[in-house]
Structure formats: structure tokens, C-alpha cells
Structure 1
């Protein structure tokens, strides 16, 4: 098997230079022999190799595909490239399983764009040994300029390329539109200080009202969405967003004003959420919706669906579940091909106990999107709640295959392992998770269970204590520490911890556990009182009924 030589130097084609060359080798064969395989990964192939769009039709389409670029206001987030990489890896895997193994030598791998570097890592992680051999070839990078396909970078969410090429262009000439795009890209990849510097430069360079309003809005968003919560400042953000609103409310054209002012009002709603003023946020989104419905009935549909989805989030947080569902549904019906709001609606349906509808929404995400770890993770929670531990674990396995950095999946999978007595596997997952998130209280809670199972009582107590120091409201940690105290014969400490747990969340399980401790401590009346209350909360529970009969 002679290797094929491909070049990954981003100066050749920017994002997915290596991927496009690999697809040039594989897609023609697949189109001839397995066209259904190409169709299954149309989004990923078209994103990585735009020159193949003429032979790879778009099967999964979104409303944005047919709108003018100025109305495509939803820019993909930084995590989308990982989804695309996973989809490409699955296409390559399924192709090579049918066609046979392939060896590839990649020149200039160190010069690859972020997208190709990410793809190579995913290919090496996900493909079985021997199916695709990737060897690093010679390094002789070109000296020409970086590609500058800024529309493609924005539409596909290629933020690293936008930042690198855009900054190079801005050093040569000032371009207000490009500056906004580059700033947004820098924010997306957590380089907010550089974005803020760009916005400050813009304020010194222009007096154009719309541009200044946009820069004020963007500055406010840095201050409320900074990836480091310590760096957030909602009060300063309020000052900047008010400046944006002041300018856009004065724009003379009613349609232009409706769009830009509505955009800024929606941004101010996030600021008010951060300031813990949800009613004010709701009113601002309502105003933005009214502007859009009145002045933009036949344009900017994505702007409107974003507003309805944002109002749905606020309504759900305020306990207005049915109204929230209606707004999510309106957003989804506006663009049935956009996956993210199915996920949000599914989460709300799950919280309402409407498991079948939630499952349908999660599986819609799986159909519409490149591999989306959150959809599999959320389906695992549905399966776990239904008692399907094997199905839940399979979904968690796949979540972590797609994204080994998905900490909540380690939490839940380690919990499943602990519940089934697989403490060695539980410890492995806890250690992986804590390497990524050393202060995750849920992982510390599972660690405590593992330590307790191994008879390491001081270590178990230390893990519970650490979890409660980080999150004093974690019911599972209070309940677990109570169990540990009970194991050590310290009934008073167990009762104290169970009391704290019950103050946070009254449940039949906690009441039953406290009744056991009361009985062991020689306090039968208190034990019976807890059992009676547990029976009210969980009528028909066999353990509770049996304990009441014995009491």
C-alpha cells in the first residue's frame, strides 16, 4: 500500500486544506459506488471542500442557505468545527471499511489550520488501527499570503482562520465590516483582550453611527460573555449597550432602525439577565419582537426566530413552560433545518417529564447536524431515567468518543459505573474528568463513592468535604457524607447531613434513609414520621411500605 502525499499548509487553501485534498481522493469513488454515504455527510463535505459542492448536493438545508448574507446573523460557534471533524472522520471510516485501508503522508502538518489539526486528531482517535495511517511528511511551508475567503470563514464558523487572515488584512487597511467579523472570531476563540483592542481602535477610527453602535454592542457582549466569569462586568456592559441603543434608536430608516435597535435590545436583555433582572430582560425582548413583527414582516426571519428562542429561554427560567414551548416551536417552524433549538426544546420537554417528545427533538438534532455530542449526552439522561443503563452508557460512550473533553459525560458515566459496582472503571472516568475540571463537585462526589467502596474512609470524607466546599447546595454530597458517617457509626453526624440535604430537596429516598438512621439511633418515633412523609411523596414504594409495616 503506497501512501498518498497530501499537503496541509493552510496557505494553500486555508481551513481544511488537508481535508479537501483527502476528500478529492475519496469522494469521487464514493459517489460512483456508495452515493448514499456521500449524502449522509453532505454538510461536512461541503464545508471542508467547497469546490465539491457542484457534485455533492445539499441534503440537509437551513433557512440561511437561501437568504442574503446580510440576513444570516447566526454565526456557528467555535465547537462546530469539532462536529464537522467528527462527521468527516465517520465518512472516511465508513469509506475505508468498504474500499480498504489507506496510508497518507501529510506534508506541512505543523502549518495546518486549526480545522485540519483538529481533524487529524479526531481521525487518529476514532479510526480503528490500520484503517488510515497518517504519517507526518516533510515541512517546506509556502511563503505567500494567507487565503482571505472571509465570507466562507464567517458562514462556516472558521474562527481561527478569520482571526489570523483578518488581522493580517487589517494591518494593511481599515475595513469596518472585517473588523467586526475578526473581533467576533477572536471572542469565539477566547481571545477577548485582542477583540477589545480592535473595538477600541475602531472607536478612534470612525464616526459612522451604525459602526459605532455595533462596536459598542460588541464591547458589551465581551463584558457579559467573557469565557472567564471573573472578567465579566455587567455594569460596565450596561453602559456600552445603552450607548448602542442610543445610536440605533436614532437611525432614520424605520426598517434599518427596527433591525439594529432590536438587535441591541436583545443584547441588553442578556446584560439584564447577568444583572439578575429577568423581568427587565423579558420586556426588552418583547420590545425587540414587536419591532421585528411591525417593521420586518418579510425580511430578517433569522433575527425573529432568535428573538423568539431567547424569549423562550427567559419564559422557561420564569416557570412559564407552555409559553416557552410555544416560542421554541415558533423558532423551529421558522427554520426546521437549524438543529440547536430542537436541543433547547428537548431539554425543556425533558424537564417537564415529556420524555418521548424530548427524545424526538434530540434525535432530530442527530439527523440535522454533524455529530452533536450534546444530543447523545441528553438522550443518555432520558435512557437513564427510564432505567436503561446499557443504553445510557452507550450514549455516554459515544458522547466521549465525539468529544473527550465533555466533562458532564464523565460525571454521568462514572456514576453509572459506581451504581453497578464497576468501581475501577468509575475511578478511571473520575480521574479523566478531574484532569479537565479539578473543581467539579459532582466528580468529587463519585470519587467519594469509589473511595468508600474501596474502604478508604478518610479519602472518601475528604472528597465529600471538597465537593461541599465548592457547592454547598449539592444534595448528593450531603447524602453521601451522611452515608459515610452512618457507616462509621456516627449517627448524629449522619442525621445532621441528612437534615441539610432535606432542607435543600425533600425526597422519599432521603426521608427513608434518615428513618434508617433514626431507627439505628433508637429514635423510632422520628423514624416512623419520616416514613409516613416518604409514603406521601412516593405512594406505593415497596421499601417504604415494608419499613412502615415493620415499624
Structure 2
């Protein structure tokens, strides 16, 4: 049993076998079965039908993640809340999801399992997942998050892998939370030595949908007549299409058709369906896999289909952060095909790479603009009037983004405004509803950047009316409402965003900031705890949480947060500084100094560590070091009155009276300064300098300031 775990989780590596711990649910995760979420979807199919009978409200609360992972359950539980994105026809779907959406879905399923096990109340739920090294990254991500987040839940997990590579996040979770059993510790079958029928072995391999790791079955498959193999693959695909779940179209069906008698036809169509379905859900690893396989079965002379697959492959690479590979693919398409649509689509995506998706050092907004100038021209030449209107507006919307990045806000606003007007004038009202809403949203963003908050809020309110189940709009409007000082309305929007989406940390981080600024420290702490629970590596949230706990007198709660943060990022200067501060508070100056030094080695400009080391130096009589550190801290944060006060106090202790007066005077002009204390200390310096009149003036002002503060506090 690992540290922090109430459960024993196991990781079995090696060949699959009949042995293993008993489990309530055992699922195979091999992507050849059902593509993305093969394992998670099978788990959902096993649990949800009965759960829906007993606790329908629980299932409905998690419908988005459930139906993404097991779409065939829609007939049982109904549709998830619809958005303009989910309702748009494929050719009108202009919004694409970020790759991080899968983390939201994984967190949502973990929380469904948490609630399910609490309601179930019949002992631990045993889950077994096999073939995790052959799983789609969505399942691997889900398992990593599951292992981390089920500590304290009545759930035990066994995972099985065949020995292949696993992503770092899953390896880390398995190493921390699971006991690994090697092949020698894993039960395996005992060979009988009896000859086996090749036909039966071949059929068994086909029936496994290519997932069997039985060497005899694989040998029989490889030795079989290719024509017979193709026939068996065709028959298996037909059976699955007739009798199987829809999600088999994302795994076993295309697998068999690729190896059947008509890969260029039937497999082509199956992969096309899989590409568009998974792209619409933001399952980019799967899109990349299907697109690559589709290009292998499609003749490049079948130009429209080939460049379409290439474009989807490029999009998936870009969304996964592999932007230079995406650019290479787009350039390949542009060199191969002179077709207007191929040039227009790849030109648009090249522009997006250079204005938004490439790493900052590779971005070139002028180059992006040149690509879009070309695509706008191509769009204007399309023969179909409706297509010409839509694509012209779409490309100009891309140009508006580039103009925003170049700082040309007025031009960006003009481009979006004219696009909205043109769509309204030239297209039927029921066409491209999604893109119309996107344009209004983009106009709101430009207006916000221009500082026109009321107009920006009006546009966000409009798009919420058009697309009321899309959580990101509430999240964005909440930020604008907060800027406008409408804090109650902002909190309501954050609450709505949370209710409409699987968990995402950003909404809690922003709500914590709002709560902290409005005096709700405990609410802010709760939100920041939620961020750290969802994504422990979000250091800004961890640091803010630790600071709030210290400020509210809850220092004892800091230690586990600090320890985990330093385990994840052992050289983070902010966390090292906090550890030093806690050591100092506990009376251990040597430990505090050591941590401040470590923090400054990691980040020489860590102001809090500079201030802490300066205080230690002052306490030990090392005035020069204290002044050097405080001077650097003041240079970095000249608007901090406390740093000015501290340096002035050190100058004062060193009898550098005029330097102290100068710092106290500067501090008095800064927001948040303790006016009365600064005036009292400056008065002492004036007395040392022999300026009795200045001393008396400061002391009288200090008295008036202190009295005013006392009256204000009493009234409050």
C-alpha cells in the first residue's frame, strides 16, 4: 500500500492470462476495439444503465462525459445539453475544442465514480483495466487521473500492460499508487503441447479484433491465405456493423475494413466517419491516428479526400502542440494540389500557426496576414454564392485575429462587424448559426480589448442567448463582469459555467481571485483547493492557496501542500521561499536562510526571498547584505510600500538618516502604505537630523492619521 492511499492498486505487466484479482468490472483498453475511450467507455457501459435506474440525476449531471465515452447510451439516458457546436452540421462546425478538453472529461468520470460508489454503499468497487499500453491516450490519461484522485475512495484498481511504453503521467501515477507485479509474479497459462487447429486459431484471432497476444493465434493469422484473411475481416466487420455498438465504428470496424477486400473504398469511408466524429469532440490523438491510416488507403489522385485527411492530420498535430510537423504537412498539400479549396484551407491553417499556435519564437503575424490575404482572394472567387459568402467572412474573421495580435483593434472590429452584417444580409437565418455566434463573441473580445466593457458585455450576453449551454461564454463574461465591478453577477456566471461543464480548473482559479478580492477568503481557499485537486502542477494556484492559508492563520494546513508542490517542482523559488518563511517563524534561522538561498539560486529575482534573506541579515547585524537585498527587491517592485519601509528602517538602524527619510517619504505616496507608522518613523529621522519642525509636523500627522483609522474601523 502506497503513501496516502487507502486502497491497494496493482499494476500487472506481461502477457495477458486468466489469473488476476477478482473485479466487479473488467474492461479491455486496446484501441483496436473502440478507439478513444475504449476502456473508459466500457466501464461506463457496465455501470451507467443500472445507475440511471436508481440515480438518474447523477447520470444526467455527467451526461457530457458519459456520452462522449459511450455514445450508444444516448438512447438510454437521453442527449447531453446541446450547444451550437454539437448541433452544427460537420461542414458548419467552425469551433474546435482544445486538447485539454479530454482532461475535463476524465475528471468528470472520476467524480461520477466517486458519487456512484458513495451511493452504492456495498463495499469497495473493484475495477480492472487490461492492455493499457495499447490504449488510446484518452484512456491512459483517464487512468492516470483516476489513480491519483481515488485516494480515500472505496475503489481498487488493477491495470494490466503487455510491456509497451506508457506516457509519463501514467507511469508516475502507477509508480506512486500501485504495486507492480512482474511477469514472474503473474499467473499465466500452461502450455499443453497438444496440436491446435489452425482454422480455429485464425478465427479466434479475427474474433479478438486483432487484440490477441496468443502467439499461436498470431502465427496462424500470419500464415493464412491473404484472400481468406480478407474475407474473414469483411465478415467480422459486417457482423459488428449489424449487431454491435456504434463505438465499434471507431475501433474494430475500420481495423477489419482496412484489412478486408476493399480498403480504398469501405475502409476509406469508415475512417472518414471516424475522423470527423473524433475531430468534432476534440479527440486529437485519435484524429491523428485515423487520418494517418486513411492517407495510407486513399490514392493521392483522389485529391479532395486525400487533402481533407491531410488537413485533419495537420489540425490534430497543431492542437497537440506539434506545430512544426503540422506546417510540414500543410506545405506538402499546398505543393501537391492547386485546388482552390485545398489552398484556401491550408492557407488559413498556416496563418493560424503563425499568429496563434506556433511557439512564440516562431510566430510571424505579418506572414500570417499574407496567407490570409491569399485565402480571402480565393474565397471571393468561389462559384457558389452561399459558399462564397461564408468562406469570405470566415477568412476575414481569421484576419481580425491577426489584426488583434498586431494591435490594430479598430481594423479587427471593422472586419468582424462587416462579417456579421454580411452573413445576416446574404445567408438564410438557419445557416451557419454557430459561426454567427462565434463572430459576435469575437466582436465582444475586441470590444473588451478596446476597453468598451458595456458593449463587450452586451455581445457576451447575446451569444449566451444564442448558445446557452456553452460554459466558456459564462466563464468569459464573468471575467468582464468582475472588471466592471459587478461581482455578484460575475459569481453567478462562474457558478453557471461550473454547472454546465465537466470540471476544469481555470474557472475555480478565477473565482478564487474574485472571492479573495471581495473578502471571502474561505471561499477563495475552497476554490484553490479544488484547482490543486484537479491539477496539482498548477503552481500559481498552489502558491496562492498557501499564501491565503498563512494569512488566515491556517499555517498547519500548509505543510502537505508545500511538500507535494516541492515533490512536483523541487526548485520552484516561491515554494522554497515559503518553506524558508515557515522555518523562520518556527525559530530556525539557519533552515530559513538555506531555503532563501535555494530560492534565489532558482530565481535571483524572487522578491520575497530577497526580503526574507535581508531580514535574517539585519537580525544578525549584517547591514550591508540587508541593504543590498532590499535595494534589489525595491528595484523589482518599486510600488511595494513595505519594501520601502523595510529599507528605510535598515537605513535608520545604520544611522543613514537622510536615506531613511527618502525611503519613508516615497513609501508614504504608495497605495496600501501604513501612513501612521511611516510618519512616526520619519519623525525619528528628522529629530536625528536636527529638524524639530519636521519632526513635530510628522508626529501630529501620525496622530491624526491613527485617529482617523480608528474611527473608520469602528464604523466598519
Cα distance 1:461–1:329, how it changes in 2: closer, same or farther (>3 A)? farther
Offset of residue 210 of structure 1 = 2.2
Offset of residue 124 of structure 1 = 1.5
Among residues 485, 506, 520, which one is paired with 1:353 in the alignment?
485
How many angstroms apart in 2 are the aligned matches of 1:460 and 1:528? 40
Alignment of 1:373-522 (within 5 A): 373-420=505-552, 426=558, 429=561, 453=585, 455=589, 456-457=592-593, 460=596, 463=599, 469=605, 501=637, 507-510=670-673, 512=675, 515=678, 519=682, 522=685
Contact 1:183–1:196 (8 Å) recurs in 2: yes
SS in 1 for 2:328: helix
Contact 2:114–2:153 (8 Å) recurs in 1: no
Offset of residue 460 of structure 1 = 3.7
Cα distance 1:545–1:332, how it changes in 2: closer, same or farther (>3 A)? closer
Which residue of the partner structure matches residue 164 of structure 1? 289
How many angstroms apart in 1 are the aligned matches of 2:351 and 2:696? 55
Among residues 177, 184, 195, which one is paired with 2:326 in the alignment?
195
How many angstroms apart in 2 are the aligned matches of 1:426 and 1:376? 19
- Deviation string, structure 1 residues 404-448 (Cα, Å, up to 9, x no partner): 233331131122133245557557646755776799887687577
Cα distance 1:192–1:297, how it changes in 2: closer, same or farther (>3 A)? same
Runs of at least 5 residues in structure 1 that lack an aligned partner in the other structure: 547-551
Cα distance 1:443–1:207, how it changes in 2: closer, same or farther (>3 A)? farther
SS in 1 for 2:395: helix
Alignment of 1:59-458 (within 5 A): 59-99=80-120, 100=122, 101-129=124-152, 131-137=154-160, 139=162, 141-142=211-212, 146=255, 148=271, 149-173=274-298, 174=300, 175-226=306-357, 228-296=359-427, 298=429, 299-420=431-552, 426=558, 429=561, 453=585, 455=589, 456-457=592-593
How many angstroms apart in 2 are the aligned matches of 1:363 and 1:50? 27
Cα distance 1:219–1:450, how it changes in 2: closer, same or farther (>3 A)? farther
Runs of at least 5 residues in structure 2 that lack an aligned partner in the other structure: 1-20, 163-209, 213-217, 219-251, 256-269, 301-305, 642-668, 688-693
How many angstroms apart in 1 are the aligned matches of 2:698 and 2:426? 62
Contact 1:248–1:260 (8 Å) recurs in 2: yes
Which residue of the partner structure matches residue 186 of structure 2? none
**TM-score w.r.t. length of structure 1:** 0.85
Offset of residue 41 of structure 1 = 1.0
Offset of residue 495 of structure 1 = 7.8
How many angstroms apart in 1 are the aligned matches of 2:450 and 2:104? 32
Cα distance 1:223–1:492, how it changes in 2: closer, same or farther (>3 A)? closer
Contact 2:133–2:161 (8 Å) recurs in 1: no
Contact 2:680–2:699 (8 Å) recurs in 1: no
- Deviation string, structure 1 residues 151-201 (Cα, Å, up to 9, x no partner): 220121111111122112123324222222221111111111221121011
How many angstroms apart in 2 are the aligned matches of 1:249 and 1:526? 77
Identify which range, 343-352 or 434-443, moves more after superposition: 434-443
The Cα RMSD (Å) is 3.8
Cα distance 1:50–1:545, how it changes in 2: closer, same or farther (>3 A)? closer
SS in 2 for 1:55: helix
Offset of residue 82 of structure 1 = 0.9
Larger radius of gyration: 2
SS in 1 for 2:77: coil
